[in-house]
Amino acid sequence: MIFDFQAGEVLLFNKPIGWTSFDVVNKIRYLIRSYLGIKKIKVGHAGTLDPLATGLLILCTGKFTKRIQEFQDQDKEYTGTFFLGATTPSFDKETEIDKTFDISHITDDKILNAAKQLTGDIEQIPPIFSAIKIKGKRAYDYARKNKDVKLNPRKVSINEFEITGIDLPKVYFRVNCSKGTYIRSLARDFGEALNTGAYLVSLCRTKSGTFEISETMTIEEFQQLLQTSKQSDNQSISI
Q: How many CA atoms lie within 13 A of 99 on its CB side?
A: 14
Exactly one of 50, 73, 98, 109 is catalytic; name it: 50
Is 23 catalytic? The answer is no
CA angle 20, 63, 70 (to 5 degrees): 65
Residues found in the chain? 239
DSSP 163-207: EEEEETTEEEEEEEE-TT--HHHHHHHHHHHTTS-EEEEEEEEEE
Pairing of the two strands 211-212 and 86-87: unpaired
- For the annotated catalytic residues, the residue numbers are 50
